[in-house]
């Protein structure tokens, strides 16, 4: 996820989603991920304190600042390039499972009271953003300990 002052996703030249401030989330769904992983990541996304408070320290969440989330499904996060020069995506979930968990993640964020914009699942998208800080955080539900 990235802390942004602006993020927009377009599909075929038309805006599919846009936020004026908050978090841009590139969400990869892996084989074996479950609704529990989606809930964990949504909870972390909503509560993670990556925005600065009055003292300049990161003490505020996207919810605290009244920000939004732009959630983009991105299976390429599972690209494995340890062998050869072309990525293998064997670690990514199949499209049906990935879409279901992506939608669950978005639903959980909305249930937490956040405004959520999205891209279009399985579409070729153009994502533009202005990263603030820059602040980029990696969340991985498989690394809970």
> Which of the residues 2, 45, 74, 118 is marked catalytic?
74
> Which of the residues 45, 51, 75, 78 is marked catalytic?
75
Point out which residues pair with 27 in neighbouring strands. 73
**Count of positions (residues) in the chain:** 145
Per the annotation, the verdict on 76 as an active-site residue is yes
**Burial environment of residue 113 by CB neighbours within 10 A (0 to 12, 13 to 18, 19 or more):** exposed
> Which of the residues 15, 34, 59, 76 is marked catalytic?
76
Contacts of residue 66, defined as CB under 8 A and 6 or more positions apart, other chains included, come to none
Catalytic positions, written as ranges: 74-76
């Amino acid at each position: 996820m990235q802390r942004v002052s602006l993020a927009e996703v377009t599909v075929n030249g038309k805006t599919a989603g846009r936020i004026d401030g908050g978090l841009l989330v590139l969400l990869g769904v892996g084989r074996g991920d479950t609704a529990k992983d989606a809930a964990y990541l949504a909870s972390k996304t909503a509560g993670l304190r990556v925005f600065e408070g009055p003292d300049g320290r990161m003490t505020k969440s996207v919810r605290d600042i009244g920000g939004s989330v732009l959630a983009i499904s991105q299976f390429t996060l599972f690209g494995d390039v340890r062998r050869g020069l072309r990525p293998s995506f064997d670690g990514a979930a199949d499209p049906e499972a990935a879409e279901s968990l992506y939608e669950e993640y978005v639903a959980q964020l909305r249930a937490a009271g956040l405004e959520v914009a999205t891209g279009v699942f399985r579409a070729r998208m153009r994502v533009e953003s202005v990263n603030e800080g820059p602040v980029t955080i990696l969340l991985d539900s498989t690394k809970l300990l």
